[in-house]
Amino acid sequence: MADSLTHSSDLSFTALPADAGQRLDAFLAGRAGALSRSRLKALILEGRVSRNGAPTQEPAESVVAGAVYEIELPPPVPALPQGQEIGLDVLYEDEALIVINKPAGMVVHPAPGNPDGTLVNALISHCGASLTGIGGETRPGIVHRLDKDTSGVMVAAKTELALTRLSSLFAGRAGLERAYRALCWGLPNPLAGDVEGDIGRDPRERKRMAVVARNGKYALTHYKVLQGFGLGAAMVSCRLATGRTHQIRVHMAHIGHPLVGDPVYLRRKPGAAKFVPEPARGLLLDFPRQALHAETLGFKHPMTGAMLRFDAPPPPDFMGLLDALLACA
């Protein structure tokens, strides 16, 4: 355990007999709560770790019982993105993470063409001093992303250790639940099933993803029709067994049921539209984004191990499509 905080930016630990012989970076990672082993290794190499007052710069150095190890923690520097006061729908927050319901139209991370007004800008402002520094910067740890025009539940880490553990969880997927609500053209047959197909860059158009025969990554989506509207459209639940770029959008288009409003994977007026009565048909054809919502996110808390599960209903524009279809039924 930590023996003392010498000041707000330093940590001090005394090695116990049971600690003797451990690698220094591993020993410190076991004691320094919110700091990952990779971050501690970097601090050691920077000369910010001392043993009995003398600097040590060897991450693999063996720990000496009774020695006092001190870590000088530099204050987090501001991240390149700056905080902006943007309202967030916060579903849960603690010292390690924050869960939000992202609105459609919000980009997750600053990028060319979207330098600000992003979720990261909003989180930097909202979380403030509770962001303890990830990689030495005051910024949130983005574990997974939703497309700009996909709404729904997302989690972001507030500490480096939480980011490391959540990233490992999302990569391994054990104990992870991700369910989406989608409105697609046509009625899938069968009404429930799996879409399995490697996803990679479309060889004919590099800005798109596609189910490919070579150089793709394995992808599996479980789908279930929640409500059909004749042969014209269907409300579908999609659960991800893998997490590939545009996975649901690509897989649903691959089986002939692209998402309503998808600007990338719906390239022409769908044949199923003729089975949708007006005025619902016009609303679906004119919908300005993919009708996709991240409805459920479940995962183990990176620090406590407790199972967490969050649900958020689709936004009003999405539900408006459903209401229009029900009115025509």
Question: How confident is the prediction along the chain (329 residues), in pLDDT tens digits per residue?
Answer: 344 333 345 889 999 999 999 999 999 988 887 788 888 888 999 888 999 988 899 999 999 999 999 998 877 656 567 888 999 999 999 999 999 999 999 999 887 778 889 999 999 899 887 887 666 666 788 889 899 999 999 999 998 889 999 999 998 878 899 999 999 999 999 999 999 999 999 988 878 999 999 889 999 999 999 999 999 999 999 999 998 999 999 999 999 999 999 999 997 899 999 999 999 999 999 999 999 999 999 999 999 999 999 999 999 999 999 999 999 87
The two tokens of residue 53 are: 């007052």
Among 180, 103, 161, 142, CA closest to 301 = 161
- φ, ψ for residue 237 (rounded to 5)? -100, 130
- Position of tokens 């940590």? 11
Distance CA 315, CA 295 (A): 10
User: CA 27, 31, 32, 37 torsion: positive or negative?
Assistant: positive
- Position of tokens 């004919």? 204
The two tokens of residue 81 are: 């993105």
8 A C-beta contact, residue 12 and residue 2: yes
pLDDT, residue 135, reads 64
pLDDT, residue 153, reads 98
Pairing type for strands 292-300 and 151-157 reads: parallel
Beta partners for 23? 62
8 A C-beta contact, residue 262 and residue 212: no
Distance CA 166, CA 47 (A): 29
Distance CA 94, CA 89 (A): 15
Q: What is the number of residues in the chain?
A: 329
Q: Is 256 helix (H, G, I), strand (E, B) or coil?
A: coil
Helix axes 37-45, 24-31, angle to 10 degrees: 120
Distance CA 137, CA 160 (A): 10
Task: Give the H or E element holding residue 123.
Answer: helix 119-127
147 is known as an active-site residue: yes
Among 41, 33, 38, CA closest to 13 = 33
Name the active-site residue from 147, 286, 317, 323: 147
User: For the range 248-252, what are the long-range contacts, defined as Cβ-Cβ under 8 Å and sequence gap of 24 or more?
Assistant: 248/180, 248/182, 248/221, 248/292, 249/290, 249/292, 250/199, 250/209, 250/210, 250/211, 250/219, 251/195, 251/197, 251/199, 251/211, 251/219, 251/221, 251/223, 252/182, 252/184, 252/195, 252/221, 252/223
Task: Give the H or E element holding residue 239.
Answer: strand 233-240
Distance CA 324, CA 51 (A): 69
- Position of tokens 């410190």? 28
pLDDT, residue 99, reads 97
Q: At 246, which amino acid appears?
A: H
8 A C-beta contact, residue 283 and residue 321: yes
